Amino acid sequence: MAASAKGRLVPVLAVAAALAAVLLYRAPFSKSLGGEGCSLLPHDHFWIASERVVTLGRVGPAAVEVKGGLINAIAVGDYRNFVLRRPLLDYGDAVIMPGLIDVHAHLDEPGREEWEGFSTGTRAAAAGGITTLVDMPLNSFPSTVSEETLKLKLEAARDKLFVDVGFWGGLVPENAFNPSALESLLNAGVLGLKSFMCPSGINDFPMTNSTHIEEGLVTLAKYQRPLLIHAERIPDDEDDDGLDGELDPRSYATYLKSRPPAWEESAIRDLQRAMKDTEAGGRSEGAHIHIVHLSDAKASLELMKDAKRTGASVTVETCPHYLAFSADEVPDGDTRFKCAPPIRDGMNRENLWKALLDGHIDMLSSDHSPSAPDLKLMEEGNFLKAWGGISSLQFVLPVTWSYGKRYGITLNQLAAWWSENPAKLAGQKNKGAILPGYHADIVVWKPEAQFELDDSHSVYHKHRNISAYLGKEVSGKVLSTFVRGNLVFAEDKHAKAACGATILAK
């Protein structure tokens, strides 16, 4: 994406400054938007600058002109020598990076506001440097599986969004063989569909088999939108919990055994025909398969590499919790760590990092999936009965950075995993990078600032005291978050008004 976007740019002015050359890149157009209280700044035309701006495939000193919600120009070089006629916010050595795009978050509204919600969820997102998120079609009630249920989402979200929010729809047995039902859901604006190959845990979101998926892809191909798949499947020769005999439900090892890597492998094997259908000349050319939250870094990953090699249109995400934790670190009874697929052993975690660094895993997502606190059964500590889902939305930037530092990750890699590639998946051509003409969706953060993830009032999740990350020392503090030019979060404060947009596909 960056390469083609760069091709459109024309440096209109080159200034020889004292030491560094300043190149000015300007967008061909800009339009105005915004309203009362949407921003913590009084103006919608200004520059932001720092020594470390992640733009044009590099990191270095630059100033970024924000005008009417868009990035209007980028002055690369020693911006302090550059005469700017508008207010300049100089962030010194802080990093200015594209805002994060989280393609996998469960905001649970309407219907399960006691789990999370549009207001709390998007406040947390803004505080964490996330400028766009895509809401999953389940855990809210009803699930988003039709035009009517998408409308309920849009109504529930009105005036509550601090960041931009798009929606995935659900591919379920009820609509999979019904192209006109799927078309009306896609026409209503979902960015793509999501389905499960194992029970989802939500009654009105039943699982699909490979036939449902192959059929659904044919419709998705017409719209060139992706199908996101929860790829765990109970192998044909197994009972549904995979456990033999009496095992301690408070032990994490028991839970781990109940969802082995073979489930992920079985699902992806079962998808091989569907993946082949997405190849050039295939039955669903134009559609795309995206495997959500891959945990197994072995056989399942190899199958995905094979599919990519033969030309299938496929991508894979994993989540920070699989990169931060290993199974032996999960305390017995601590169900805050329960998620599906499970967090696996330390060697698997190493292999996930390697796959991410090698480009075999394309992007990261939070899979923020909280619940009402009582469903985590914290006192009982029963891993088999507790709700599975890790609460993490606000923490993903410092977590990815802190745990990734030992692998030498770069700011450009962070921007690819968290902004550029997710923008592509979600079909957002003007998001995911700091480039002229793009939305001014920006996070300003200090990679070196250390702090503890705690349950203080600067955490905005609905249930701030339930997260597997609490107590972890991390570095990487978000200073400011801009969504389409509005300063929506700064110095632990949110803008007065919630002016995030709902993003609908056209």
Out of 173, 199, 201, 235, which residue is the one contacting ligand NAG (CB under 6 A)?
173
* Window 352-381: residues binding Zn ion (CB under 5 A): 367, 369
CB of 329 to Zn ion, least distance (A): 22
Query: What is the distance between the alpha carbons of residues 106 and 460, in angstroms, rounded to a whole number?
Result: 15
Q: Which three-class secondary structure state does DSSP give residue 272?
A: helix
CA of residue 137 relative to chain centroid, distance: 14
Neighbours of 234 (CB within 10 A): 19
| Tokens 């499970």, located at residue | 342
Residue 176 phi/psi, 5-degree rounding, is: -65, -35
Indicate the residue among 107 and 217 with the shorter CB distance to Zn ion. Answer: 107
User: Does 378 interact with ligand NAG (rule: CB under 6 A)?
Assistant: yes
Indicate the residue among 461 and 484 with the shorter CB distance to ligand NAG. Answer: 461
Output the residue with the shortest Cβ distance to Zn ion: 367
Indicate the residue among 88 and 378 with the shorter CB distance to ligand NAG. Answer: 378
Query: How many CA within 13 A on the CB side of residue 447?
Result: 17
Q: What is the DSSP letter of 58?
A: E
Query: What is the distance between the alpha carbons of residues 107 and 391, in angstroms, rounded to a whole number?
Result: 11
Q: 98 vs 194, 250, 286, 435, 444, CA distance in Å?
A: 26, 41, 27, 9, 9
Pairing of strands 363-364, 100-105: unpaired
Indicate the residue among 273 and 429 with the shorter CB distance to ligand NAG. Answer: 273
The answer to whether the CB of 217 falls within 8 A of the CB of 274 is yes
| Tokens 């060697």, located at residue | 347
If contact means CB under 5 to 8 A according to the sort of partner, which of Zn ion, ligand NAG, none does residue 504 touch? none
Indicate the residue among 153 and 461 with the shorter CB distance to ligand NAG. Answer: 461
CB of 212 to ligand NAG, least distance (A): 6
Indicate the residue among 284 and 369 with the shorter CB distance to Zn ion. Answer: 369
User: Does 211 interact with ligand NAG (rule: CB under 6 A)?
Assistant: yes
If contact means CB under 5 to 8 A according to the sort of partner, which of Zn ion, ligand NAG, none does residue 68 touch? none
Site size with ligand NAG, rule: CB under 6 A = 9
Out of 209, 310, 450, 456, which residue is the one contacting ligand NAG (CB under 6 A)?
209
Burial of 280 from C-beta contacts in 10 A (0-12 / 13-18 / 19+): exposed
Question: What's the alpha-carbon Rg for the chain, to the nearest Å?
Answer: 22
Q: Which stretch binds ligand NAG (CB under 6 A): 17-25, 203-211, 395-403, 440-448?
A: 203-211
* Window 317-376: residues binding ligand NAG (CB under 6 A): 373
If contact means CB under 5 to 8 A according to the sort of partner, which of ligand NAG, Zn ion, none does residue 349 touch? none
Closest CA to 425 of 309, 292, 265, 311: 292
* Window 395-414: residues binding ligand NAG (CB under 6 A): none
* Window 463-482: residues binding ligand NAG (CB under 6 A): 465-466
CB of 336 to ligand NAG, least distance (A): 8
Indicate the residue among 267 and 466 with the shorter CB distance to ligand NAG. Answer: 466
Query: What is the distance between the alpha carbons of residues 185 and 234, in angstroms, rounded to a whole number?
Result: 29
Indicate the residue among 369 and 419 with the shorter CB distance to Zn ion. Answer: 369
User: Does 210 interact with ligand NAG (rule: CB under 6 A)?
Assistant: yes
The answer to whether the CB of 144 falls within 8 A of the CB of 107 is no
User: Does 201 interact with ligand NAG (rule: CB under 6 A)?
Assistant: no
CB of 110 to Zn ion, least distance (A): 18
- What size, in residues, is the chain? 506
What lies within 8 Å, CB to CB, of 498 at 6+ separation is: 119, 122, 159, 160, 161, 162
If contact means CB under 5 to 8 A according to the sort of partner, which of Zn ion, ligand NAG, none does residue 211 touch? ligand NAG
Neighbours of 83 (CB within 10 A): 6
Q: Which residues bind ligand NAG (CB under 6 A)?
A: 173, 209-212, 373, 378, 465-466
Q: Which residues bind Zn ion (CB under 5 A)?
A: 367, 369
